[in-house]
Amino acid sequence: MTDVLGSGAISYTPSIIADQLITGINSDQAQQATLEQELSSGDVINQPSDNPAGAADLLQLNATLARTQQYAANATDGTAWLSLGNATMNQIMSALQQAQQTVLSVSGAQLANEPGALQGLATQVSSIRQALINLANTTYGGQAIFSGTGNVTQAYDQNGNYVGGGSAPTRTVAPGVQVAVGVTGGQVFGSGTTGLLGTTGVLAQIVQDLQTGTTASLNNVQNADAQALSTAITQVSDQAAEMGANYQRMQAFAQQATNSQQVLQGQISGIDSTNVAQVSTQLTEAQQSYQSALWATSQLSQDSLVQFLS
Amino acid sequence: MGDLALNIAASGLNAQQTAMDTISENLTNANTPGYISEKVLLTVNAGGDLLGVGDGVRVVGVAQNGDGLLATNAQQSQGVLAQSTSLQQVLQGAQAVFPEPSSSGISADLSTFWQSWDAISQDPSNPAPRTAVVDLAQSLASDFQQASQQLSNLQSNAQAQVASSVSSANTMLQQVATLNGQITTTEGSGAPANALIDQRNQILNQLATTIGAVGVAQPNGTMNVDVGGVTLVQNTWSDTVTTTGGAGDMGLVAKASGVTLATSSGSVAGQLAAINQYLPAYQSQLDATANDLATTVNTQLAAGYTATGASGSGYPLFQGSGAAGLSVNSAIVGNPQLIAASSTGTLPDASNDGGNAQAMAELYNSPTGPDVKYQSLIQGLGSQVQAVNNQVQAQTSVANASQENLQSIEGVNTNDEMVQMLTYQQAYQASAKLVSTVDTMMQSLIQAS
């Protein structure tokens, strides 16, 4: 039997007090559970309702991070291609310079009557041509690096004809940015029979002129052929420079992708990472309040007028 | 003297005993839900003595400490809380369908899927990366199918719950009508019907939390039951509630009148909101996301060429419509070379070109792509769960407060009862003492004569 004592005052029956204690214990426990989840997972956002806008941001940032990691992987792959390409270009250049040395060593009048020596020089140039064909067919992971997108296994056939495609493959290294991972054989050596490596190309021409061995043909070697060879070397060296520039770009983009990853990871942990110190403190507070609620509950049944009536 | 004094003392003994019975009843029912504490009503018996001495004390009745307004408040706040709580359960279930943010959700799978296209472009003639793309596409399709299936499971579970709540509500409506009859009969015979009223209160509380019913007390002691303004119980007559429609348009109808019951409280109201509004919305957003995935990927493929130089427009990767129907083209599963990864149809380049695959990988954040739509689905779902969580929290406080107010009037306060017990005990002892005193007086009179 109860009365309202004055306006607004509640008369506390044992069941009200019990309900309040239960509510208190439950809410303390829920608070503790939330904080413990944050600590154990290390994440503030464990489900979308923890922070809806933050969760959507996280999904987007994670997608961008994954894309950036792919850019870095693409750039790493591209760097490997270009690195092999540059090394091959250096070998090609030194082979061509060797051929140039040979051509320069030809002095028409003195060698005209020495077919043996001429044949030796011709063999030398011929083997340089063969070496160049092999270098032009260099592969990375089974893919010929000078064949563009046209042919997987080889860029030149044994006769020195270009059998690759029209453009070099590219790698996507930043949003909308694609960098070529090589140059095509056509750009380096030209294509067809008249290309540098072709059956009527300059190297083949030099071999033929040396084998002919006449003063006129030797003059040809010293003038027209030397001229053509020098043009071809310029062409190769231009392409080598292009490749070197792409290598630099590829490395710069790889670096940029790595930097972006760090920035993105910073943003992600800013949204999602638990502040361990703060949450631990909050957890301690929650535990204390939980214990107080438990203690209060243990006192519930003890104090009543019943105890004092005997 | 004599007779009268003994009679008065006897009426006192009886009255105090009844009062003690009431206290005993209160104390034993201190924790009984729906119990309304009782108090004994005593009045002076009009005297039969010429001098005006009264005729002792009389028990008029045992009244309940009820407060109709507070009881209605408490019922309604419990009903509103039940509405939010049942909606919260369904929405949290829907949130669990999308385990985000995580490394295993649809979002992460989409991300992996997009990146896998760059792997094709790094080695277009190698079948392994193409097979990987097909595998990832299949796992995406099954992600969407599963999420869709789980949402429809939630939908059918919620509908089953509504059906079972309605059937138990119908039983309770009938019980209220029966109790109404019993209460009027009992009270008509002059006996108090407190226990029956307690029982009816308990049922009304359950009806309030189930279908948001409101009890309207009538002057004759009966209780009408309204749901959404429609009377379902009047005196001893009761109507039954039936469900109509399905997902999107499920509703409650009063059988007798055929009127739709617009209830905004009670657990059924929360489930109906989920069935008609929230779950269909999530399902359609999920379907739209799946359709966007198919459209985005297939459109890009149509711009490319297969390894044999055929146009990609004939070889879409995704088929079907909606999340449940999303599947991977079996022709491509059988022959991944049919993926239009090349940006040129000229042979032999088509077999070794990855230009279109590179373009595909860049679609990961396309404004018309699936990722953006999926992110907004997650954000919307998260906001709604957060809102309903807050609602439940606020309404729990309101319901607790109104329950406390009601309890402070209707509940049993042990300390109060103890004080009353002492008072009645002393009064009883005094009456008993009176009897023995009158006895002594009578004896002394007898001995003297």
What is the tens place of the pLDDT at every residue in A196-220? 898 999 999 999 998 888 888 888 8
Lowest mean pLDDT segment, chosen from A5-14, A154-163, B79-88, B388-397: A5-14
Q: Is B284 helix (H, G, I), strand (E, B) or coil?
A: helix
Contact A1, B65 (CB under 8 A): yes
How high is the pLDDT of residue A6? Answer: 45
Q: Do B110 and A63 touch (CB under 8 A)?
A: yes
Q: pLDDT band at residue A3, thresholds of 50, 70 and 90? A: very low
Amino acid letter, residue B277: Q
Structure tokens at A77: 């792959």
What is the share, in percent, of chain B residues with pLDDT greater than 90? 70
Is A1 touching B (CB cutoff 8 A)?
Answer: yes
How high is the pLDDT of residue A310? Answer: 64
Selected residue with higher pLDDT from B303 and A41: B303
Q: Residue A246: pLDDT above 80?
A: yes
Is B305 touching A (CB cutoff 8 A)?
Answer: no
- Nearest chain A residue to B23 by CA distance is A1
End-to-end alpha-carbon separation of chain A, Å? 22
Is A233 touching B (CB cutoff 8 A)?
Answer: no
Q: Which residues of A touch B353 (CB under 8 A)?
A: 149, 165, 169
Is A159 touching B (CB cutoff 8 A)?
Answer: no
How high is the pLDDT of residue A1? Answer: 39
Question: How distant is the Cα of A184 from the closest Cα of chain B, in angstroms?
Answer: 13
Q: Which residues of A touch B382 (CB under 8 A)?
A: 47-52, 55-56
Task: For domain A79-265, give the CATH superfamily.
Answer: f41 fragment of flagellin, N-terminal domain (1.20.1330.10)
Contact B203, B73 (CB under 8 A): no
Q: Which residues of B touch A49 (CB under 8 A)?
A: 92, 95, 381-383, 385-386, 389
3-state helix vs strand vs coil in chain B, percent to 5 = 65, 10, 25
Q: Do B352 and A77 touch (CB under 8 A)?
A: no
Amino acid letter, residue B40: V
Q: Residue A4: pLDDT above 80?
A: no
> What Rg, from alpha-carbon coordinates, does chain A have?
40
Q: Which residues of A touch B376 (CB under 8 A)?
A: 56
Contact B359, B349 (CB under 8 A): no
Contact A175, B362 (CB under 8 A): yes
Amino acid letter, residue A19: D
Q: Do A1 and B122 touch (CB under 8 A)?
A: no
What is the pLDDT of chain A when averaged over all its residues? 88
Q: Residue A244: pLDDT above 90?
A: yes
Is B370 touching A (CB cutoff 8 A)?
Answer: no
Q: In what helix (H) or strand (E) does residue B291 lie, and over which residues does it extend?
A: helix B279-302
Contacts of B290 (CB under 8 A, 6+ apart): B144, B148, B322, B323, B325, B326, B370
DSSP characters for chain A? Answer: -----STTPPP--HHHHHHHHHHHHHHHHHHHHHHHHHHHH-BS-SSGGG-HHHHHHHHHHHHHHHHHHHHHHHHHHHHHHHHHHHHHHHHHHHHHHHHHHHHHH--HHHHTT-HHHHHHHHHHHHHHHHHHHHHHT-EETTEETTSTTT-SS-SB-TT--B-S-SS--EEEEETTEEEES---HHHHH--STTSTTSTTSHHHHHHHHHHH--HHHHHHIIIIIHHHHHHHHHHHHHHHHHHHHHHHHHHHHHHHHHHHHHHHHHHHHHHHB--HHHHHHHHHHHHHHHHHHHHHHHHTTT-SHHHH--
* Residues 260-299 of chain B whose Cβ lies under 8 A from any Cβ of chain A: none
What does the buried/exposed string (b/e) look like for A165-192 if buried means 16 or more CB atoms within 10 Å of the residue's CB? bebbbbbbbbeeebbbbbbbbbbbbbbe
Q: pLDDT band at residue A118, thresholds of 50, 70 and 90? A: confident
Contact B335, B344 (CB under 8 A): no
State mean pLDDT over B264-284: 95
Is B313 touching A (CB cutoff 8 A)?
Answer: no
Q: Which residues of B touch A15 (CB under 8 A)?
A: 30-31, 407, 411-412
Q: Where are the domains of chain B?
A: 3-65+412-448, 71-90+163-273, 99-153+275-397
Question: How distant is the Cα of A43 from the closest Cα of chain B, in angstroms?
Answer: 10
What is the tens place of the pLDDT at every residue in A260-284? 999 999 999 999 888 888 889 999 9
Is B385 touching A (CB cutoff 8 A)?
Answer: yes
Q: Residue A5: pLDDT above 80?
A: no
Selected residue with higher pLDDT from B381 and A30: B381
Give ipTM to 2 decimals: 0.83
Question: How distant is the Cα of A143 from the closest Cα of chain B, in angstroms?
Answer: 8
Phi, psi of A96 (to 5 degrees): -65, -35
Q: Do B125 and A152 touch (CB under 8 A)?
A: yes
What is the tens place of the pLDDT at every residue in A42-70? 888 989 999 999 999 999 999 999 999 99
Rounded to 10°, the helix B370-410/A52-105 angle is 160
Is A248 touching B (CB cutoff 8 A)?
Answer: no
Q: In what helix (H) or strand (E) does residue B205 lie, and over which residues does it extend?
A: helix B194-211
* Torsion of Cα atoms, B377 then B381 then B384 then B389, to 10°: -160
Q: What is the pTM of this model?
A: 0.85
Q: Do B118 and A74 touch (CB under 8 A)?
A: yes
- Which site among A4, A5, A25, A59 would you substitute to test the B interface, given the most B Cβ atoms closer than 10 Å to its Cβ? A59
Is B63 touching A (CB cutoff 8 A)?
Answer: no
State mean pLDDT over B290-295: 96
Q: Do B355 and A170 touch (CB under 8 A)?
A: yes
How high is the pLDDT of residue A134? Answer: 93
Between the alpha carbon of residue B16 and those of residues A43, B9, B13, B424, the distances in Å are 66, 11, 5, 6
CA A212 to centroid of chain Cα atoms: 53
What is the share, in percent, of chain A residues with pLDDT greater than 90? 51
- Nearest chain B residue to A44 by CA distance is B101
Q: Residue A116: pLDDT above 90?
A: no
Q: Residue B133: pLDDT above 80?
A: yes
Question: How distant is the Cα of A94 from the closest Cα of chain B, in angstroms?
Answer: 30
Q: pLDDT band at residue A303, thresholds of 50, 70 and 90? A: low
Is B407 touching A (CB cutoff 8 A)?
Answer: yes
Q: Do B122 and A59 touch (CB under 8 A)?
A: no
State mean pLDDT over B385-401: 94
